[in-house]
Each structure stands twice: as structure tokens, then as C-alpha cells.
Amino acid sequence: MNPVTSKKEEIINTINKVVKANIPIIFYLPTSLSLIETFQNTPRTAIITRDVEHSGILQGKILSDIRNTNKKSIDRNNDNILQYMMLQGTPDDLTTIARSKYSIRTLNEVNIKTQQLLSTACSWNRECARRTIESAFLVYGDKIDAIISNNDEMALGAIDALQKYGFNKGNKTKYISAVGVNGIDEAKALINQGIMTGTVIEDIPAQAKGIYDIGMNLISGNSITHNTNLKTIHNNVVKMPYYKYIVNYKNKISQYIYLIICVYFNFYSFYFYLNEQ
């Protein structure tokens, strides 16, 4: 069950009917902590949720890693404070709250001072993010060190706005870090081009397999994580992990070196071939 309504009472009533009928149920991606708490330890019920705290933590780590390796690029006015804009999803949504909170907490935990310049709920929408950053840039343009978005669509909207002002178009001296979540293709392409900083990705195939395995375990009466690598909290809650997606410069350098060697080898092979004729 993946609820399409945000009305808590409707969701609770529906799940209770299924539980009373002794039918196994998988509650996929509940939208609030209170819903998770309501059905913790409920028999023949599994709750699969994103590890949304982890997604925020990884966003913070992407930015802290940049701070540690190239501080100048993420402290544009050299004041030792990471000044950021936050583009949020739906207000009061569990994912919105967790990603917004833990991205900043992660930075603060490694002694990076932060200052919020702006926080706007754009409800995951690219166009809202574009308009927000386009307007805010006129006020805060020289202060913005980073834009943190609760999803990739809003991060892409932020990139659209930055590019209007000549930023994030390939010139490293005119670049503002922007991070998102989801790993959509357009975001990954921009990251590979050095236009967007990074994103945080869900392992969708692993989620699909996890749902299948948990469902089979519920039907067979086994523990919900039987014969899986998944872990539970509160007996029936499973959190699916995320991982970072950033440009791997070491791999790029290795590829360039390999390309140079190949060109060099082919040139001399051709040279010796001509001399032997």
C-alpha cells in the first residue's frame, strides 16, 4: 500500500481494516512519523520507508567534503560561514523535514558554521524553485555559497535560475554549489558536466527486491527480513538506504591518462609501421 492521500485518518482506517482481516500488508513510504509510530509492531504488517535522515546526511557530507578539499569554492565571500538557500518539498512532509534538518546538522557536526539566507517550500516543483532563486539572487547573489534542495527537480530549477545570471555554465570562477536528491538522469548529466554539485540516489532495484522478499516472508509467516540483508527497527520497520552521486575526478583523470597512453601507443605503432614499409 502506497497512500495517495495525506489524510492520516483515512490511511489509518484503511490499514486497520486490512489488519483486522488478517491479511498481510506492506505499508510503503508513509508520509509522516506519526503514521509509522501508529503501526509499529502491528502483526503481519511491514513498513518500508526511505532512510530520509540518511539522504539529508549525505547532502551535508557532499558539501562538507567540498569544504574540506576546496574551501574557496564554497565560501565565496571568505567569511568562514556556509551561507545557503533551502528549497523544500511539501510542508510538514516527513521527507521534507528530515532532509532539511539533517543536511544542515551534518555540516554543523563537523564544525562548519552555517547561515540560512532563504528557505522556501516549493513542493518538489522545478518552476517554483527557478522563480524563487531567480528573485533571491538579486538580493543575495554575492553571498550564496550553496543551494540545498529536497529533490533534484528543485535543484534543476535552481540551476536554471543561476544560469540566467551566468553561473554554473562551466566557468569555475562563477559557480555555486547545488545539491539534490533522487538521481534523475538530467541531474546526473549536469553533475558529470560539473554544472551541478551532487545528488543522493535511492537504489530502486534494491527497493523492488526488498518489497518482494518482505511480501513473501509475510505470507509464509517468517520474520520480514528472513534471508535478506535488510534490517528492521521496532520489529517491522525497514529503512531503505541512499548513496551519493558526485563527479569522480580520480576516475576521470584515470580515463584521460588511459586515453593519452592509447593515443601515444597508436601514434608510435603507426610511425614504426610506416618506417618498415
pLDDT in tens, 215-254: 999 999 999 999 998 989 888 999 888 999 998 644 443 3
Q: pLDDT tens digit string along 116-170? A: 999 999 999 999 999 999 999 999 999 999 999 999 999 999 999 999 999 999 9
- The full set of domain ranges for the chain reads 8-51+203-245, 53-201, 249-276
Question: What's residue 3's pLDDT?
Answer: 79
Bridge-partner residues for 246, per DSSP? 198
Give the 3-state DSSP-derived string for 8-57, with helices as H, strands as E and coil as C: HHHHHHHHHHHHHCCCCEEEECCCCHHHHHHHCCCCCEEEEEECHHHHHH
The cell numbers describing 2, all together, are 502506497
Q: Which residue has the cell 518538489?
A: 124
- What burial class does residue 163 get, using C-beta atoms within 10 Å of its C-beta: 0-12 exposed, 13-18 middle, 19+ buried? middle
Provide the sign of the torsion angle of the four alpha carbons 41, 45, 46, 52, taken in this order: negative
The answer to whether the 8-51+203-245 and 53-201 domains have the same CATH topology is yes
**191 vs 188: CA distance, rounded Å:** 5
Q: What does the DSSP assignment read for 50-87? A: E-HHHHHHHHHHHHHHHHHH-GGGG-TT-SS-EEEEEE
pLDDT of residue 253: 38
pLDDT given at position 7: 83
**What's the confidence (pLDDT) of residue 274?**
52
- Residue 41 reports pLDDT greater than 80: yes
Q: Give the integer Cα–Cα distance in Å for 245 and 192.
A: 10
| Pairwise CA distance, residues 95 & 245, whole Å | 19
Name the nearest CA neighbour of 146 among 208, 74, 221. Answer: 74
pTM of the model: 0.77
Q: Look up cell 481494516; give the residue.
A: 17
**Under CATH, which architecture does the 8-51+203-245 domain have?**
3-Layer(aba) Sandwich (3.40)
State the Cα–Cα distance between residues 163 and 209, nearest whole angstrom. 39
Average confidence (pLDDT) over 23-43? 85
DSSP state of 203: -
User: 53-201 sits in which CATH class?
Assistant: alpha beta
Provide, rounded to the nearest whole percent, the portion of the chain with pLDDT above 90.
Answer: 68
**Across residues 168-175, what is the average pLDDT?**
94
Which residues share a beta bridge with 24?
none
pLDDT, position 94: 84
- d(C-alpha 215, C-alpha 218), whole Å: 5
CA torsion, ordered 180, 183, 187, 191, to nearest 10 deg:
90
pLDDT at 92: 85
Best-predicted range by mean pLDDT among 5-9, 204-208, 257-261?
204-208
The fraction of the chain above a pLDDT of 70, given in percent, is 89
Report residue 276's pLDDT band, with 50, 70 and 90 as the boundaries. Answer: low
Question: Model confidence over 182-220: pLDDT tens digits?
Answer: 999 999 999 999 999 999 998 888 889 999 999 999 999
What pLDDT is attached to residue 263? 46
User: Cα separation of 250 and 159, whole Å?
Assistant: 25
pLDDT at 264: 47
